[in-house]
Amino acid sequence: MSKFAAGKYALGVSDRSGFVYKLNDMRLEWTGALVGPDEWEKKQPQLDPRKHISDPQALKNPRPTTPMVLSIYVGVPLVEDPNLRNLTAFGFVGDVTVNTNLNDVTVSLTGLGSTSSVGSVSVTPTTTYTVTVANPGSGNKFYIDGVQQATLNLNEGSTYRFDQSDSSNGSPTHPLRFSTISDGTWGGGSEYTTGVTTAGTPGTSGAYTEIEVATGAPTLYYYCSNHSGMGGQANTP
């Protein structure tokens, strides 16, 4: 039987790239392709997966984390263990959900679990007027939100704040006060103080006069306690 030639000087063409290599240096890949030594790649293990591999067996007798339910009693501490997760509690104060981890605690409360009355809730809005002082030619006058000696309507049960922070209220000061008589003490009346509070010095930051209008309050007049002829009327419908 004849032998193959040694091929010492023989050349071969790569089945992959078409490059020419010495035939004796070329290598046969698993695909059957004859390639250059710098092109040769071994077969990837993923191409030969193991057969008949079953899924891992489930954990025997597991103990997963589950939510806990507690009853809430006002004033009694419930949980001191920081490792609890997704704690849900409920009681007569409503539905309370407590979500915890080692770093923070979030508590939410929804609903009421009681049919008894919890009383009534009332909201008293506060209306703020900006008070400035200017001389229109007949002496200093109060300007309420830019209106000279404005006639106001103050509703019973509502609160009104007269902000005197503007510097025009000072040097000399012009304290705004209330009376049941036009021009207050300058008109022979007296200062009305029911529901009235004051703060600060007129002309400085935070200074104001505030009134919560009482039920059945009479028609009022605002005036300057230091100077006459500056104020106006405040109806209480």
Give CA–CA dist 188/190, Å, rounded.
7
Does 6 fall in a domain? Answer: no
Helix, strand, coil percent values for the chain (each to nearest 5): 5, 35, 60
Q: Are residues 130 and 224 in the same domain?
A: yes
Residue position matching structure tokens 């009235």: 196
Q: Are residues 101 and 142 in the same domain?
A: no
Does 4 fall in a domain? Answer: no
Domain that holds residue 210: 126-235
Does 161 fall in a domain? Answer: yes
**Cα-only R_g, the chain:** 46
Q: What is the pLDDT along the chain (237 residues), one digit of tens a residue?
A: 567 777 788 888 999 888 999 988 899 998 889 999 999 988 888 887 777 666 666 677 776 665 554 444 444 344 444 444 444 443 344 444 444 333 444 444 444 444 333 444 444 568 899 999 999 998 999 999 999 999 999 999 889 999 999 999 998 999 999 999 999 999 999 999 999 999 999 999 999 999 999 999 999 999 999 999 999 999 998
Kindly list the distances between the CA atom of residue 224 and the CA atoms of 24, 85, 118, 177, 227, in Å, as whole numbers in the listed order. 116, 64, 45, 6, 5
Domain count, the chain: 3
Please, which residues have CB within 8 angstroms of residue 88's CB and are 6 or more apart in sequence? Answer: 67, 68, 69, 96, 97, 98
Give CA–CA dist 110/94, Å, rounded.
6
Q: What is the pLDDT of residues 140-170, one digit of tens each?
A: 999 999 999 999 999 998 899 999 999 999 9
Q: Are residues 30 and 130 in the same domain?
A: no
Give CA–CA dist 35/14, Å, rounded.
4
Q: What is the pLDDT of residues 189-199, one digit of tens each?
A: 999 999 999 99
Cα torsion 165, 166, 171, 174: sign: negative
Q: Within 13 Å, how many C-alpha atoms sit on residue 86's CB side?
A: 4
Does 137 fall in a domain? Answer: yes
Q: Are residues 31 and 90 in the same domain?
A: no
Q: Are residues 133 and 231 in the same domain?
A: yes
What CATH number should be reported for the domain holding residue 131?
Answer: 2.60.40
Q: Are residues 37 and 78 in the same domain?
A: no
Region for residue 181 given its phi and psi (left: phi exceeds 0; alpha: psi -120 to 50; beta: otherwise): beta
| pTM of full prediction above 0.95 | no
- Number of Cβ within a 10 Å radius of residue 155: 14
